[in-house]
């Protein structure tokens, strides 16, 4: 039991490692799509805790990126996003419950798995750089390098670049330091910067809400989607998401968990990952949250910054639950204290950790598959890369083809 749940500084630091992926998507879907922040944080917190209790190793919780990115870019309604979460839950429950995922996983070659991990890692690093230099969609929309800081430039340089460089160097220095874990130091430093230079947008309302006691009136803020919402969500959001989910959040994630935790992750199977995500999406649907999944990138992020047990799930899950219950709809004001460039630093190191899984590929044909998938991902999307990668991998089994 002690080895399954540790609550030391490294676990705290590791629990914060994936905030760079989770927070920007949560903020964007709240501000642009009208999702309820309390529903988002409540469902994320519960998913972290329940999955940690069941799997008994560090388990990542992430937003579904295809759904989230497209929904934010097009300004979809909250009910359409909720409908997509319900559809995804149904698909995953069927695929996992019937063991169809075992058949799918059996015939997905290793270079395709590595290609998914490499592509996801590169995407995370690219997004991290955008956060640091101020060119992410959210920062462009707010027309600021650091939307919630009063200082935008330090001399000739944007403040985000300065914070990113210093944060990156400190992370390199502290990555193996157990007394002063990098993730904990970087996030704490970011909050300090937010307290000193922050705009404190809405933060006083947030603390007034705290003084008024717990507000539980926002539980189950449920507006049932219409038939049109379900139809549109299926075609526009769910069908493009499913291949990426199977490739990254099931197969690549479960295999990476085995790489990291060996026999301790015996419960992390293709089937259990599918059913876990299905139940989480049903829960998120009724709580008014966003579609959720596991993911190889999230696991790499937690692991890179020190998470080694399910204790990290208990820690980050409890943080999300407390924020949801205590601050309610005002909780985003607390998150605004963390500069975007700090989230960018977390993404950079998480992405590099995941990308380096390709190091065990020695065969030229296998390497070609993984690199081709990276190219397709950058030009199109990861779902297309996953499908094409499988086709290329099987084609290259022929001795008549060479690279």
Closest C-alpha among 275, 290, 228, 225 to residue 89: 275
The pLDDT of residue 211: 52
Global pTM reads 0.84
Q: Is the pLDDT of residue 331 over 90?
A: no
The pLDDT of residue 237: 86
Q: Is the pLDDT of residue 101 over 50?
A: yes
Check residues 302 and 357 and name the one with the higher pLDDT: 302
The pLDDT of residue 38: 86
Q: How many CB atoms lie within 10 A of CB 236?
A: 17
Check residues 15 and 31 and name the one with the higher pLDDT: 15
| Summary mean pLDDT of the chain | 88
Closest C-alpha among 140, 145, 149 to residue 161: 145
The pLDDT of residue 177: 84
For helices 110-133 and 19-31, give the axis angle rounded to 10 degrees. 70
All residues at 6 or more sequence positions from 386 whose CB lies less than 8 Å from its CB, including other chains: 112, 115, 116, 243, 244, 246, 247, 248, 373
Pairing of strands 292-293, 62-63: antiparallel
- pLDDT digits 0-9 by tens, 238-297: 888 888 899 889 999 999 999 999 999 999 999 999 999 999 999 999 888 999 999 998
The pLDDT of residue 86: 95
Q: Is the pLDDT of residue 200 over 80?
A: no
Q: What is the mean pLDDT of residues 180-196?
A: 89
Q: What is the mean pLDDT of residues 82-107?
A: 94
- What are the structure tokens assigned to 393, written together? 């991998």
All residues at 6 or more sequence positions from 136 whose CB lies less than 8 Å from its CB, including other chains: 24, 127, 130, 340
pLDDT > 90: percent of the chain: 47
**Residues 324, 330, 331, 332, Cα dihedral to 10°:** 140
- pLDDT digits 0-9 by tens, 202-228: 566 556 655 545 555 455 566 788 899
Closest C-alpha among 253, 256, 250, 252 to residue 270: 250
Q: What is the mean pLDDT of residues 56-73?
A: 87
| Domain segments of the chain as ranges | 9-360
Q: How many CB atoms lie within 10 A of CB 195?
A: 11
Q: What is the mean pLDDT of residues 137-152?
A: 88
Q: Is the pLDDT of residue 1 over 50?
A: no
The pLDDT of residue 120: 84
Q: Is the pLDDT of residue 142 over 80?
A: yes
Q: Which residues pair with 293 in a beta bridge?
A: 62
């Amino acid at each position: 039991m002690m080895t399954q749940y540790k609550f030391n500084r490294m676990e705290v630091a590791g629990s914060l490692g994936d905030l760079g992926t989770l927070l920007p998507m949560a903020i964007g879907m709240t501000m642009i799509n009208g999702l309820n922040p309390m529903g988002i944080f409540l469902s994320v917190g519960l998913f972290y805790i329940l999955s940690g209790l069941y799997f008994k190793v560090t388990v990542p919780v992430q937003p579904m990126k295809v759904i989230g990115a497209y929904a934010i870019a097009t300004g979809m309604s909250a009910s359409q996003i909720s409908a997509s979460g319900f559809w995804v839950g149904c698909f995953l429950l069927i695929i996992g419950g019937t063991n169809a995922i075992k058949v799918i996983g059996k015939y997905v070659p290793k270079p395709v798995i590595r290609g998914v991990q490499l592509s996801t890692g590169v995407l995370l690093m690219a997004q991290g750089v955008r956060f640091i230099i101020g060119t992410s969609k959210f920062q462009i929309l707010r027309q600021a390098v650091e939307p919630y800081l009063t200082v935008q430039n330090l001399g000739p340089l944007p403040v985000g670049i300065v914070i990113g460089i210093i944060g990156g160097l400190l992370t390199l220095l502290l990555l193996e330091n157990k007394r002063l874990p990098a993730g904990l130091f970087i996030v704490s430093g970011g909050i300090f910067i937010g307290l000193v230079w922050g705009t404190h947008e809405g933060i006083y309302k947030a603390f007034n809400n705290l003084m008024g006691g717990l507000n539980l009136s926002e539980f189950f803020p449920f507006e049932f989607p219409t038939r049109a919402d379900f139809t549109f969500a299926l075609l526009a959001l769910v069908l493009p998401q499913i291949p990426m989910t199977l490739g990254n959040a099931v197969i690549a994630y479960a295999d990476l968990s085995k790489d990291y935790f060996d026999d301790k992750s015996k419960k992390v199977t293709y089937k259990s990952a599918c059913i876990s995500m299905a139940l989480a999406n049903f829960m998120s649907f009724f709580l008014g949250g966003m579609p959720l999944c596991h993911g190889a990138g999230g696991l790499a992020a937690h692991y890179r910054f020190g998470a080694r047990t399910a204790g990290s799930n208990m820690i980050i899950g409890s943080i999300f639950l407390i924020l949801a219950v205590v601050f309610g709809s005002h909780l985003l004001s607390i998150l605004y204290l963390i500069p975007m460039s700090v989230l960018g630093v977390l993404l950079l190191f998480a992405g590099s950790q995941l990308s380096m899984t390709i190091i065990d590929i020695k065969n030229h044909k296998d390497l070609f598959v993984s690199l081709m998938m990276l190219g397709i991902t950058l030009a199109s999307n990861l779902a297309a890369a996953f499908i094409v990668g499988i086709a290329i991998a099987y084609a290259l089994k022929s001795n008549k083809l060479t690279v």
